[in-house]
A and B are shown apart, each in its own frame.
Chain A
Amino acid sequence: MDQILPLLVAIPLGAAFLIPILVRVWRRFPDILGNLSTLALLVMSLLLVGREPSTYYMGGWRPPLGINLVADGLSVLLLIVISSIAFCATLFSIPYMEKYTSKSRYYSLFMLMVAGMNGVVLTGDMFNLYVFLEIASIASYALVAFGTEAEELEASFKYMIMGCVASTFVLFGVGILYGRTGTLNMAHLARIVDRDGMSPAILFASALFLMGFGLKAGMVPFHAWLPDAHPAAPAPISAMLSGVLIKAIGMYAIARFFYVVFGMDGLTSTVFMALGLLSMVVGALLAVGQWDFKRLLAYSSISQMGYVMLGLGIGTPLGVLGALFHLLNHATFKGLLFLCSGAIEHGTGTRDMGKMGGLIRGMPLTGTTCSVGSLSISGIPPFNGFWSKLIIIVAAVQAGHYAIAAVVVLLSFLTLTYYLRLMRHSIFGDLPEALKGIREAPALMGIPLVLLAVCCLSLGLLYPVLKPLLLGPATDVLLRAGDYIDLVLGG
């Protein structure tokens, strides 16, 4: 059963290199192989749910010498997020990517990105994490530029420059930690930090990590690349970037390092809360004035990731639970909304909300699912966004941060405002003359929309089932760092 862990990285990696060869045999192979791989990943990550945390030694070398893979609650939660959104995105890509040339390169890069993200969430080795981070990032730079128009190239260039700076920060951090402690294994490092305490060098390395991973997570003030890069990419890639990538290589790495390896203290907690609040406020204020459908969603991602960061900053069991639940929920509704934006662009040929309106009459399925996504992200009960925001607000109140709780409530109204505006201008209202002939998106684009809309509705209602199976174990990983060390190094 543990043999699944390396396969979670090996399958997408193998698919990435098989696709460019097999496309010469048959033109449809990229579609088939891409979808089969993501389906296999989804099944395998679901198989890991509810199982005891396990660890896998690459090549049979034991830590702290060898590289090990760890599947604990937090990794499994992220694996499920990655593979479910990746499956929906590949399914959506079959009809959507027809308008681009070279589908095989698209799938190849997509699979590399998935392999990188799976590697980041599974690995127990810092340098290995950096390598997987780069695999995922570099694949995403190329995917953002996939349209090769001036806008895409500019966005990709900006993303690449800022992403490289972030990766360099992470590499410096890894170098400092290795020089200081002589280990690259995260559990071993956690034990050393626990024994010797935080020295100034380790504190400096943690600041580098916060900047590096914070940039990948799109936290304000490191967010400038995100509103360009996410809208410029093809819609399924936007869904992957906003829905998954910023969480897997940004938020997950922050949570893993600061909770499990370095250990949380008052200072880190305050910094997290400040970054979270700043991202929430700035992201939401910038989203309000946007007329570009996808750009609005991108700014909203910054704001919503602020909620996750805030929850992690509060640091109480309820706060962490709320943060992880919001992370899961955000993947579903932001994935859904970006795929909807793709379906709308496919049907109308525009992303400008000023030229849309009344789309629900021409595209009832897309309109309905887009409304579900908007209501979920705005925090309307009974959709899933409401529950996770509620948990974060309750956690803030319980921890005595009344002002922060008030800001979160106010920002939820602001979120509702700009999503109501989005719905008013695109889905409802009058259908413009130019769009009279629009038709519903093809069935293969509709299926992922329905799947994700069902998730938006059911994740909130299924919370009593989700908590013991998925969210509880993930929260425990962050709150009981000792378990991780014991799991990897043995008691």
Chain B
Amino acid sequence: MKGMSLIVRTIARVVTTFIFLYSAYIVVYGHITPGGGFPGGVILALGVMLLMLAFGREVPLRKLPEGRASVLDCLGALGFWAIALLGLTAGYFFLNFLGKGEPFRLVSAGTMPLCNISISVKVGVSLFAVLAALSIYRRFYPPGGEPPEDMSGG
């Protein structure tokens, strides 16, 4: 059987929702509280990691295959890049052309929340891809077989 026991799977199913919610909170509130795109993205990937451990790697990979993950990863980076380039049209590269932030207000700070969201996509999907790669390529030799000569020596 793939994955872990029923208890682990049930708890993982419940907890993952909260992990994703927490990740969204960290990203969206990144510009007014400690946090931001990077930590939010890492938390997102950790939620997926829990799913992978509890249900086996196929479950998350069925939702987001490697190819699509690679595209999403690039789109996240391109989003950040595009925001910086848009600043160039307003005068300076990376210029915050949408206005400044106000303390404790969610919809403020111009391009900062947008940057946070693209970074969270980039970081979350990248780490997901790293985890997927580690689980796919964990074996260098066929299951049950001996490692080939040239690999065993390191």
Q: Which residues of A contact B (CB under 8 A)?
A: 3, 6-7, 10, 13-14, 17-18, 20-21, 24, 56-60, 150
* Structural contact, A21 and B94, CB atoms closer than 8 A: no
Chain A nearest CB, measured from B76 CB (Å):
9
* Structural contact, A10 and B81, CB atoms closer than 8 A: yes
Within 8 A of A (CB), among B87-106: 87-88, 91-96
- Given the complex, which residues of A lie within 8 Å of B81, measured CB to CB? 10, 13-14, 17
- Given the complex, which residues of A lie within 8 Å of B92, measured CB to CB? 56-60
CA separation between A14 and B96, bound complex, in Å?
Answer: 19
* Structural contact, A3 and B88, CB atoms closer than 8 A: yes
CA separation between A378 and B93, bound complex, in Å?
Answer: 45
* Structural contact, A58 and B93, CB atoms closer than 8 A: yes
The closest CB in chain A to the CB of B84 belongs to A10
Label chain B's interface by main secondary structure: helix
* Structural contact, A59 and B95, CB atoms closer than 8 A: yes
Can you name 19 extra interface pairs (CB under 8 A) apart from A20-B74, A59-B92, A60-B92? Answer: A6-B94, A7-B88, A10-B81, A14-B81, A14-B85, A17-B75, A17-B81, A20-B70, A20-B71, A56-B93, A57-B92, A59-B87, A59-B93, A59-B94, A59-B95, A59-B96, A60-B91, A60-B95, A150-B150
Chain A nearest CB, measured from B121 CB (Å):
12
A17-B95 in contact given A10-B84, A10-B85, A59-B87 (Cβ < 8 Å):
no
* Structural contact, A17 and B77, CB atoms closer than 8 A: yes
The closest CB in chain B to the CB of A3 belongs to B88
Cβ-defined partner of A6 (8 Å) among B74, B93, B150: B93
- Given the complex, which residues of B lie within 8 Å of A17, measured CB to CB? 74-75, 77-78, 81
- Given the complex, which residues of B lie within 8 Å of A150, measured CB to CB? 150-151
Chain A nearest CB, measured from B79 CB (Å):
10
CA separation between A6 and B85, bound complex, in Å?
Answer: 9
The closest CB in chain B to the CB of A149 belongs to B150
List 26 A-B pairs, Cβ < 8 Å: A3-B88, A6-B84, A6-B94, A7-B88, A10-B84, A10-B85, A10-B88, A10-B93, A17-B74, A17-B77, A17-B81, A18-B74, A20-B70, A20-B71, A20-B74, A21-B71, A21-B74, A21-B75, A58-B92, A58-B93, A58-B94, A59-B93, A59-B94, A59-B95, A60-B95, A150-B150
